[in-house]
Amino acid sequence: MSNTALGNHILVEFMNCDPHVMNDVAAIERDMVGAARKAEATVINSTFHHFSPYGVSGVVVIQESHLAIHTWPEYGYAAVDVFTCGDMNAWIAFDHLKECFGAKSYSAIEMKRGSVNLLTRNDFDITTAREKAAEWRNPDFYTRNVWFTDKDEDQALSLRFTGDVFFDVQSPFQRVRILESTKYGKMLALDDMVMTTIKDEFHYHEMIAHPSLFTLQNAKNVLVIGGGDGGTVREVLRHSNIEKVTMVEIDGEVIKACKEHLPEIAAAFDDPRLELIVDDGIAFVKNAPDAIYDLLIVDGSDPVGPAEGLFSVDFYQNCYRTLKSDGILVAQGESPKFNEKAFAELNQTLQSIFGKDNAPVGLFFVPTYPTGMWSFQYGLKGAADPRKVSNTAAIKTFVSEKGLRYYNEDIHFSTFALPNFVKQLIQK
Ligand code: SPD
């Protein structure tokens, strides 16, 4: 390094890179940290974010300055800069990244930063400054900041994750991933949406199952559409009156990922009362006989990709048909604060099929979904109405025997208490 400048900066254009790598925040973090290490830099910290639908930005802070990146997967392009001080050779990092990203073309310019003859040196006591720095810096340990972001155009929820990816498969329907979030443990992500995490899954799975099962009291035959992680059937099968659960999940990779990596959630797949079918739930309901299910649960993901049809009028008409005369439908209802349109339209659909007063909404809290406020929406075919249950003693006993952590006899009723803005969204 020339002693006429404080630093050396290379600005790199990597083009025609592998687009999948360009969109993979964990791989990019690994490669950037790897590049720094290969160039014998001391890594202090890394911060990486994935943006939905595409793109990664990140910085690796090194003792010798930094490496930064911004990617545009849709163009197979990465803009990288490597800023170094001291003897570190930035071109070693460049060569490493070129290979990792599969860049077929590239260009770079090199600049000297901080021309010493243009600067005036202050009179610092450098020895004390170095000693102070050594007190807090542990060169064997660096902090990682890799973020998974679930967002629409205006809002986002970001979870920090360790950077470790346990499962990453592009199925015919979606990208299925198991990542490890630092706060909520292992999580299932479909495309770039958080589906469930080990530490907060009980909010969703207890609330999708128990309010309707305590309303019906003696449900025997249940159909679950979706729910590939297994949490919903785990909760349904806690009820001893259940004789049969048919679960139809379109994506076998989701089941595989969760069985392997989320066994606490995928805990009931071996229950003999469960029939597991890997197929299209929409077609399954279309072909199902009339009036056979006590309870039909739609545990689908958001209305993009394979779950889009789970928000259609046709689908819910078939659901209505397959329910017994007193049957109940429960559907993942989206958020009145995140995707108001899908939330309101689903309720209109259910009102039009089940009747104006027979499509109640239950709100509950999920910390790992954008805005935290989420809903289940009901379709009540007959008189069984979760807003009017009286068997609270049975709920109390069940909750305590099974060790439930979200649902209880008070939540059973309070979930149906709606803020005024939600009432307005679904006004009849
Ligand atoms: N944005 C998340 C919507 C919820 C999707 N279902 C979660 C599956 C849990 N079994």
Q: What pLDDT shows up at residue 135?
A: 65
Residue nearest to atom 5 of ligand 1 (CA): 301
- Structure tokens belonging to residue 159: 């979870």
Question: Which has the minimum average pLDDT: 6-20, 118-132, 145-159?
Answer: 118-132
- Structure tokens belonging to residue 123: 């009179």
192: which strand partners?
A: none
Helix/strand/coil percentages in the chain, nearest 5: 35, 35, 30
Length of the chain: 428
Residue 130, helix vs strand vs coil: helix
Let me know if 312 is exposed, middle or buried by CB neighbors in 10 A (0-12, 13-18, 19+). middle
Taking residues 362-391, report their average pLDDT.
97
* Rounded alpha-carbon distances, angstroms, from residue 159 to 72, 151, 374: 22, 11, 17
Q: Which residues contact 128 (CB under 8 A, 6 or more apart)?
A: none
- Name residues contacting ligand 1 (CB within 6 A): 193, 195-196, 204, 227, 229, 231-232, 299, 301-302, 332, 369
Q: Which tens digit of pLDDT belongs to each residue from 30-44?
A: 999 999 999 999 998
* Alpha carbon 227 to its chain's center: 14
Q: Please give the distance, rounded to the nearest whole angstrom, from the Cα atom of residue 103 to the centre of ligand 1.
A: 36
Q: Please give the distance, rounded to the nearest whole angstrom, from the Cα atom of residue 339 to the centre of ligand 1.
A: 14
Q: Which tens digit of pLDDT belongs to each residue from 107-126?
A: 999 999 998 889 988 877 76
Q: What pLDDT shows up at residue 153?
A: 79
| Catalytic residue positions, numbered | 299
Reported pTM: 0.81
Is the predicted pLDDT of residue 52 greater than 90, yes or no? Answer: no
Hey, which of 148, 188, 190, 204 would you mutate to test ligand 1's pocket, going by the most ligand atoms within 8 Å of its Cβ?
A: 204
* Rounded alpha-carbon distances, angstroms, from residue 379 to 79, 141, 279, 294, 423: 51, 54, 24, 12, 17
Taking residues 161-179, report their average pLDDT.
92
Is the predicted pLDDT of residue 90 greater than 80, yes or no? Answer: yes
Q: Please give the distance, rounded to the nearest whole angstrom, from the Cα atom of residue 204 to the centre of ligand 1.
A: 8
Query: In three state form, how does the secondary structure of 276-331 look?
Result: EEECCHHHHHHHCCCCCEEEEEEECCCCCHHHHHHHCHHHHHHHHHHEEEEEEEEE
Q: Which tens digit of pLDDT belongs to each residue from 292-325?
A: 999 999 999 888 777 788 888 999 999 999 999 9
Tell me which H or E stretch contains 202.
helix 201-216
Percent of the chain residues past pLDDT 70, beyond the cut? 95
Let me know if 345 is exposed, middle or buried by CB neighbors in 10 A (0-12, 13-18, 19+). middle
pLDDT band at 352 (very low <50, low <70, confident <90, very high): very high
pLDDT band at 139 (very low <50, low <70, confident <90, very high): low
Q: What pLDDT shows up at residue 1?
A: 46
Give dist(CA 246, CA 221) in Å, integer: 8
Q: Which tens digit of pLDDT belongs to each residue from 209-247?
A: 999 999 999 999 999 999 999 999 999 999 999 999 999
Taking residues 59-87, report their average pLDDT.
95
Atom of ligand 1 nearest to the CA of 205: 10
Atom of ligand 1 nearest to the CA of 335: 1
Is the predicted pLDDT of residue 392 greater than 70, yes or no? Answer: yes
Q: Please give the distance, rounded to the nearest whole angstrom, from the Cα atom of residue 344 to the centre of ligand 1.
A: 18
